[in-house]
Structure 1
Amino acid sequence: MKFGKDFKKHKVPEWTEAYVDYNELKHILHGIRSFRQNNPNLARASSKRFSLKNFNSSSLHEANIDSHDDIENQVIAVHTVLQGNSRKLYNTRLIVAPTEGEGNERNFFRKLDDELNKTNNFFKDKVEEMIREAASLKKQMETLVALRIKITNPSSQGSIPLKSVSSEISNLDPSKIIPPGKAESIGKMDRKPGGEMSCRNQQQPGSSGADLSFQEQQSDSRPVVDVLHRNNSTDREITDEHETTNLDILDRIKIQNTYDSPMETIKGVFTDTREKGLSYNKEELKEVEERIKTAFIEFYQKLCLLKHYSFMNISAFSKILKKYDKITSRLVARSYMKIVDDSYLGSSDEVINLMERVEAVFVKNFLNSNRQEGMKLLRPKQKIERHRITFCSGFFSGCSVALVVAVILLMEDRKLMHIKSATLYIEIIFPLYGFFAFTVLHMLVYAANIYFWRRYKINYPFIFGFRKGTELGYREVFLLSSGLGVMALVTFLVHLHVKMDSDTQHFETYIELLPLGLIIVVLAIMFCPFNFIYRSSRFYLIKCVFRCVCAPLYKVTLPDFFLADQLTSQVQAIRNFEYYVCFYGGGRQLARRLTRCSSDEVYNAFYFVIAVVPYWFRFLQCVRRLFEERESVHVYNGLRYFTTIVAVSIRTAFEFRKKTVWKVLALLSSAVAAIANTYWDIIIDWGLLQRQSKNPFLRDKLIIPHKNLYFVAIVLDIFLRFAWLQLVLILDVHSLHGKTVSTIFSCLEILRRGLWNFFRLENEHLNNVGKFRAFKSVPLPFTYYEDEDDNEKDEKDE
């Protein structure tokens, strides 16, 4: 694989604009090559150098003047400007005889300097952010140590002497981080084939280096805390034998309440507090440990991304300079790479040092010194693509097509659509299999969404909060959907064949149980606790569904309201699921079952309620977000869903009472809801139709290169949003039978939801990109009184 493609593939999607603009530099080099090929004489003349006497030697970077021979063959001179914030800006000048074609080369070095300054500043900003976060984690760990001591030995008071204790926790303090040195960190970065840099640990177990431990030992009934110290001759830190840990810190802290359970939410409504005091019990300690453990894992993976960012950008500088040398026959790569290696991007060791400390802290404190298990949790897991997934997907999809053809041929052969009794039978059993049809279609749409999200580098695993390495790709989702489709089609084909064959009609009672058996099998697989068929993804989906059902008792995250929006497009499938209860709870005769379902008051009441339930979930989620975030946008969003609830309720009432008044009310309410939802889709969810955008009627940043596709999506969304009005108008299509019309429009709504999914996540991704937000925010458990006092004092000073 060429480096350009590999470089693009391994970028952190949210940081794309902060990477070296490798393609633009290559474009400039193409211009230089074309000029030299068209003007060979000028190219030879341009090889004449200026003498360095023409330049002030004090302005040249010291790395360029290594020897007299280097001065004689100098091609570039780099001027370094030190800014007030201790950051360097680099400015390169080309030391060659001025010719007609040297403009492109000067543009090349101007662009190269801009990219070096950009990546250098971005990397420094992120490292400083990581150092500040390390200081916060250090403080949290000190508090956790004190809490462990207090719970293990409740009689402990004041300061506890820590025998043979070093100050390794303090190594996470910003003042303890080794300042930038020479470019040793790049040598530590292991590179995998294809340009991928791994986040492997740089020290082996038992070697010298940062090592932090917390172990509870029983010695005279007193817990002893062992913490690591650096066995480095230049950086040795040995804690005094009489060092103490102050347990008084526990009197100045509270635990942040995340309202992550229904009971905490209910208590929060009445007490209106987000903090609670310490209770000093083991359950509380376990909760705190889990939260800090998660924070350490996330922090380590941030450091891995920063390490990878530095490595890939330095590789990009090296590759592009080698291309320049090859095209111009000038030897500048070595000189300029010295500048890159001496820059903050190439010489900073903070990331490596922090990674070593975090590894040691995590392994000793949370994994009982089991380094192998600790590194499994810390290292980001890479998803492995398996060929058998592709093979099975193709096999099941081929079987699905063959089964669909077989069903059509069977229905034509038996004239099922022309015989009244057969048509009635299909009408009765169709909702049983319609549930699977809607589900499979939605899964196929989701697989297509994943394919295009990946193609356009939309970081959907980060947005949804999937655990890295466990997220499903489009191949896996397509495999599941095609497998479910095969199961449903086989069941339906057997059902029709046995029912319509006079020789096998005595099996009718058992055949009617096939759809119910299929539902049971699907649910059994869904809730199966064993690790097969993507257990982590199944349980993640179950958890999200449960949080939707329990709204507003749980904190609303993006996967929660995204799933609730999917459910609003599956109203017909949910009603079909209700039909299962009515069908198998009815009489023995099919006609009686159909009559009973259409005339039963309880069934009709639930038919009414089920249509509203998904929108009610979203309404309650808006209420919860308003309660937490206090933003007016959630008021408007809640009103939108309430309007939709009213429209769906009136429209469902019109289905039961075909009166002109209900029809007018249904048309008006549905039109208002459609207008509100369409506006929200395009303006808020997609971020399009911005007035002052550089892309007229769209937005400033677009991922899809073809702008016309955005306008096509807008038109399709408007059309499909208003298509549901036909259910009120009741279009009479004589060539279609039964509920075929409503089924078609339900399928169109699922397709519209798939369209919405792509652009909704595209907009979310661009919001993250605009803020360079590539990390999950993990709330820390402890809050400190002194921090609050300092903040109040700062506010008064301002």
Structure 2
Amino acid sequence: MKFGKELTSQMVPEWEEAYINYNYLKKILKEISSSQKLKQKHLNPLCFSSQKEKSSKKMSLNRAFSGLTNRHGNYNNDKGKDIEVISVSEIQHDHECENYQTTFLWSLEEGAENELVFVKILDDEFNKVNNFFKAKVEEVALEAKELNKQMDVFIALRLKINGPRSQSSVVPSSSGTSPIPEIQELEELPEGDQSMVSLDVLNNVKINVIPESATSTLRTLLDGTKSKLSFSKEELRNTQIKLKQAFVEFHRKLRVLKSYSFLNQLAFSKIMKKYDKITSRNTLKAYQEMVENSYLGQSDEVIKLMERIEAVFIKHFANGNRRQGMRDLRPRGKRDKHRVTFFVGCFFGCSIALVVAVILTVHARELLQSEGRDQYMTNIFPLYSLFAYVVLHMLMYAGNIYYWKRYRVNYSFIFGFNRNTELGYREILLLSSALSVLTLAAVLSNLEMEMDERTESFQALTELVPLGLVTALVLIIFCPFNIIYRSSRFFLIVYLWHCICAPLYKVTFPDFFLGDQLTSQVQLFRTLEFYVCYYGWGDFKRRTNTCEQSDVYQTLFIFVAVIPYWFRFLQCLRQVCELKDYGQVLNGLKYLSAIVAVITRTIYVQKRGTTMRIIAASSSGVATLYNTYWDVVKDWGLLCKDSRNPWLRDRLILPNKSVYFVAMVLNVILRLAWMQTVLDFHEAPWLHRSMVIFVVACLEIIRRGIWNFFRLENEHLNNVGKFRAFKSVPLPFSYEDGDKEL
């Protein structure tokens, strides 16, 4: 792999702008090389070909011995002596930034102006990298001090609860008020003089209460956001978990900073070697010395901090077990398993075979012309359509993951996934293909259109197959055993519970993202209601039901469709109250307009009438315009008139700009699918009403899948603009005075 691609693959996506622009510098070097070849050809066209061969041989020879004969890759002049070509000096230095400038020690020949451009851009890139690294090191130094203070309180709390024997390494600090020294001294403490321990650090300290449940949120509203220490073992256990998470995330940040420093230093060395090869100058040594003497090259704060953090973590969170401690601090990345790919292929092959079998069965038995066709489409088809909605949504999500990875959208960080247990697109395809096989096999086993003339009923066992599939799916989702991706299932359950309990939970990105997914699965919720009615009050053996004749069912039919939008509306209210983000008021109004549109359309389908049709069409039109504007402008960040990319945005991930315009047009078209309701398309004789409803629901799921990609792209670019690449882990302790830090 070429270094440019390797550098790109190892970059932190949110810090991409802070790395050296290696590809752009290479592009300038290519222009320098081209101009030199043209100049050489112009001066001596007859000897150009022979000189080119000699040059290529010389470069290949240098390449073969590069790094073996000379560490810095210096080049000698014709007399065999090294001559310095450039001088790099520091032109500005203060507490916040260092700036370096490169100058040539003699004037360049005519036509070498592009070399001056290269050196100028090279200096700008180095100053950018050096100052960014310095700023980040200062940030982690402050975070280390805060972690040290948190450890002071934690160790004192553990000593208070478990007794003197639980902590044998606590001595007073130099100030005499805190029993814990600085982080770097924790491994040098004497063992066991408990008479010297002071617990004054626990005075005026409160434990931060993070609303993690509906009851804790209500308690927070009544008692405040912080409570005094109760000195309970449960409190100690919770604070230990939070501090451990903070240490793991902090150590990861240090590892990334260390990698950032190494990669950029290597990149500057590589690019200068290329420059020397092209221009036959001797610049690498001087520039390399400057890099090594700069803050980027000399700073060892990150390495020291890593060593101290590891020592503290192993001692206090791994019981002195270094192997276990390092395993927790540096979890291994998830490996792709070949058997997953194998079973995906098997299940998709089986799905295709079952689809062909269903089509052949329908054709051979002429089921489309059967008298029981309408009965089947009204009662059985909606039951199986539920699984189609789930499979289609999973397929769209798998496609999103694939393209997020391909275009380096850091979806794992945005969603807060555990990198060791997160599902990749292969795992999602495995689950969706397995569910499709089960569903199609059930359809094939239940593909009967005519009743038994003797009993005037269908077989009870086959008629219960859809209910059995739903039951199995629910049991798998809530299965407590560590099978079928338990951590991912629980992740889904937790955030689904957050949506149900809105606004009693703090709204994070996964919360409202999942809420938006639910708004596109309205027909799935209505199908679940139909399951209850059909198997609870219908005569499923005869494939008949009276659901649509029930006033209770019709009322719940509206209520069920409104629930997802109501969840999102409450989440918007929570964000307004908690973050004072008054833009969420307009976002909440968007969901209210959708609620009105859904209610009026449903009432029109149930009651009919010209007046109701006008109301339904008007409310749906307003909601469509409002929601489309919010999708494109707010959620996707597009339609920026003054952008560098007209009517898009300044930063784009996809190289083909036309994709964004196609996505905007598709969003509008797919949002207009509601028009089939007020235009009575579902009454077309050539297409059954259940099939029309199914197609419209699938179009909405496809629209949501497209929305997902661009919504996360916009969120990723916002993080890039603010260089946010790490989770903010809440710390457990604070002073009683909320404005004063520990």
The number of equivalent residue pairs is 709
Name 1:680's counterpart in structure 2.
630
Superposition deviation, residue 438 in structure 1: 0.7
**Which of the numbers 585, 593, 602 marks the counterpart of 2:552?**
602
Distance between the aligned counterparts of 1:267 and 1:493, measured in 2? Answer: 53
- Per-residue CA deviations over 1:669-688 (Å, capped at 9, x if unaligned) read 21221121111111111111
Shift of residue 326, structure 1, vs aligned partner: 2.5
- Compare 106-115 and 242-251 and name the one that shifted more: 242-251
Q: Which residue of 1 aligns with 2:423?
A: 472
Q: Aligned match of 1:690 in 628, 637, 640? A: 640
Within 2, Cα distance between the matches of 1:665 and 1:606? 21
- Between the aligned partners of 1:470 and 1:504, the Cα distance in structure 2 is 52
- CA distance 1:588–1:733, change in 2 (3 Å): closer
Does the C-alpha gap of structure 1 residues 244 and 584 become closer, same or farther in structure 2, counting only changes over 3 Å?
same
The 1-side partners of 2:388 and 2:82 are apart by 77
1:719 to 2:669 alignment: yes
Residue 80 of structure 1 aligns to which amino acid in structure 2? E
Match of 1:444 among 395, 411, 419: 395
Q: Distance in 2 between matches of 1:683 and 1:506?
A: 55
* Structure-1 separation of matches of 2:402 and 2:740: 50
Q: What residue in structure 1 maps to residue 131 of structure 2?
A: 121
Give yes or no for the alignment of 1:530 onto 2:481. yes
**2:577 equivalent in structure 1:** 627
1:28 aligns with 2:38: no
Give the deviation of 1:154 after TM superposition: 10
Shift of 1:300: 0.8
Tell me how far 1:34 sits from its aligned partner. Answer: 1.3
Counting only pairs closer than 5 Å after superposition, residues 231-246 of structure 1 correspond to structure 2 as 244-246=196-198
* Structure 1 residue 504 displacement after superposition: 13
Q: How much does 1:589 deviate?
A: 5.3
Matched, 1:309 2:268: no
What is the match of residue 495 of structure 2? 544
What letter matches 2:214 in structure 1?
P
Structure 1 residues 502 and 16 mapped into 2: Cα distance closer, same or farther (>3 Å)?
farther
When the two chains are superposed, the root-mean-square deviation of aligned CA atoms in Å is 3.2
CA distance in 2 between partners of 1:75 and 1:499 (Å)? 92
Determine the C-alpha separation between the residues in 1 that align with 2:193 and 2:571.
55
The aligned runs of 1:576-615 (5 Å cut-off) are: 576-588=527-539, 590=541, 594-615=544-565
Instruction: Give the match for residue 153 of structure 2.
Output: 143
1:261 paired residue number? 213
Give, in angstroms, the shift of residue 746 of structure 1.
Answer: 0.9
Contact 1:162/1:241 (8 A) holds in 2: no
Quickly say closer, same or farther: Cα 1:726–1:497, change in 2 above 3 A: closer
- Superimposed CA distance per residue, residues 758-778 of structure 1 (whole angstroms, 9 cap, x where no aligned partner): 111111111100000001111
- Cα gap change, 1:242/1:400 in structure 2, threshold over 3 Å: closer, same or farther? closer
Answer yes or no: is 1:247 the counterpart of 2:247. no
Whichever residue aligns with residue 94 of structure 1, its letter is: F
Deviation at 1:567, TM superposition (A): 0.7
Letter in 1 for 2:625: I
Match of 2:658 in 1: 708
- Mapped to 1, the partners of 2:449 and 2:373 lie a distance apart of 13
Q: TM-score, normalised by structure 1?
A: 0.83
User: Which whole-Å CA distance do the structure 1 matches of 2:134 and 2:343 have between them?
Assistant: 47
Q: Which residue of 1 aligns with 2:63?
A: none
Q: Secondary structure at the match of 2:545?
A: helix
Q: Which residue of 2 aligns with 1:457?
A: 408
Check if 1:2 corresponds to 2:2: yes
What are the equivalent positions in structure 2 for 1:172-571 lying under 5 Å apart?
Answer: 172=183, 227-229=186-188, 244-271=196-223, 273-496=224-447, 508-571=459-522
For 2:278 and 2:380, the matched residues in 1 are separated by 72
- When residues 503 and 92 of structure 1 are mapped into structure 2, their CA distance, relative to the original with a 3 A threshold, is farther
Q: 2: distance between equivalents of 1:385 and 1:155?
A: 46
Measure, in 1, the Cα distance between the counterparts of 2:643 and 2:696. 34
Q: Deviation of residue 380 (structure 1)? A: 4.3
In structure 1, the residue matched to 2:68 is: none
The more displaced of 638-647 and 302-311 is 638-647
2:58 counterpart residue number: none
Describe the superposition over 1:702-757 as per-residue Cα deviations: whole angstroms up to 9, x where unpaired. 11222222222112112222221321221243321132112111111111101111
How far apart are the structure 1 equivalents of 2:73 and 2:354?
Answer: 72
Cross-structure match for 2:720? 769
Conservation of the 8 A alpha-carbon contact between 2:572 and 2:588: yes
Contact residue 498 and residue 508 of structure 1 kept, 8 A? no
Residue by residue, what CA displacement relative to the aligned partner does 1:304-363 show, whole Å, maximum 9, x if unpaired? 111111111112112222222332333432332222122211221111111111111111
Q: Deviations over 1:206-246 (max 9, x none)?
A: xxxx6x7xxxxxxxxxxxxxx422xxxxxxx9899799454
State the 1:520 CA deviation: 2.3
Q: Secondary structure at the match of 1:78?
A: strand
- CA gap of 1:242–1:473, structure 2 versus 1, over 3 A, is closer
The answer for the alignment partner of 1:56 in structure 2 is none
8 Å CA contact retained: 2:632, 2:664 = yes
Distance in 2 between residues matched to 1:595 and 1:341, nearest whole Å = 80
Q: Shift of residue 9 of structure 1?
A: 1.0
- Contact 1:498/1:504, CA 8 A, preserved across alignment: no
8 Å CA contact 1:498–1:511 kept in 2: the answer is: no
CA contact (8 A) 2:460 2:541 kept: no
2: CA distance, partners of 1:168 / 1:251? 12
Cα distance in 1 for partners of 2:380, 2:354 equals 18
User: Structure 1 residues 420 and 254, CA, compared in 2 at 3 Å: closer, same or farther?
Assistant: same
Shift of 1:569: 0.4
- Confirm or deny: 8 A CA contact 2:566 2:591 kept in the other structure: yes
Superposed CA deviations along residues 259-317 of structure 1, whole A, max 9, x for unmatched, are 2211121123334x212112121111112111111111111111111111111111211
**Is 1:40 matched up with 2:40?**
yes
Amino acid at match of 1:28: I
5+ long unaligned stretches in structure 2: 56-71
Task: Note closer, same or farther for the CA distance 1:242–1:754 as it changes in structure 2 (3 Å cut).
Answer: closer
- 2:602 corresponds to 1:643: no
Name the CA distance, whole Å, in 1 between partners of 2:92 and 2:620.
64
Return the letter of the residue paired with 2:317: F
Task: Give the distance between the partners of 2:433 and 2:249, measured in 1 at CA.
Answer: 35
Q: 1:315 is paired with a residue of what secondary structure? A: helix
Q: Within 2, Cα distance between the matches of 1:525 and 1:565?
A: 24
Instruction: Out of 749-758 and 668-677, give the one that drifted further.
Output: 668-677
Question: In the TM superposition, what whole-angstrom CA distance separates every residue of 1:394-433 from its partner, at most 9, and x where no partner exists?
Answer: 2222222222122122112211111222332233100111
Equivalent position to 1:107, from 117, 125, 148: 117
Q: Which residue of 2 aligns with 1:751?
A: 702
Listed as ranges, the matches of 1:650-665 within 5 Å are 650-665=600-615
What is the CA-CA distance between 1:503 and the residue it aligns to? 13
One-letter amino acid of the structure 1 residue matched with residue 386 of structure 2: F
The 1-side partners of 2:673 and 2:644 are apart by 32
CA distance in 1, matches of 2:171, 2:94: 45
Question: Which residue identity lines up with residue 375 of structure 1 in the other structure?
Answer: M
Return the letter of the residue paired with 2:125: E
Identical positions, percent: 50
8 A contact 1:20–1:313 mirrored in 2? yes
CA distance in 2 between partners of 1:500 and 1:399 (Å): 29
Task: Please say if residues 29 and 324 of structure 1, whose CA atoms lie closer than 8 Å, have aligned partners that are also in contact.
Answer: yes
- Structure 1 position 365, deviation (Å): 1.0
Letter in 2 for 1:117: N
On the 8 A contact 1:162/1:243 being kept in 2, the answer is no
Closer, same or farther in 2 for the Cα pair 1:415/1:275, shift >3 Å?
A: same
Q: Give the letter aligned to residue 388 of structure 2.
A: A
Shift of 1:648: 1.2
Name the SS for the 1:89 alignment partner.
strand
1:767 aligns to what SS in structure 2? Answer: helix
Deviation at 1:463, TM superposition (A): 0.3
Question: Residue 197 of structure 1 corresponds to which residue in structure 2?
Answer: none
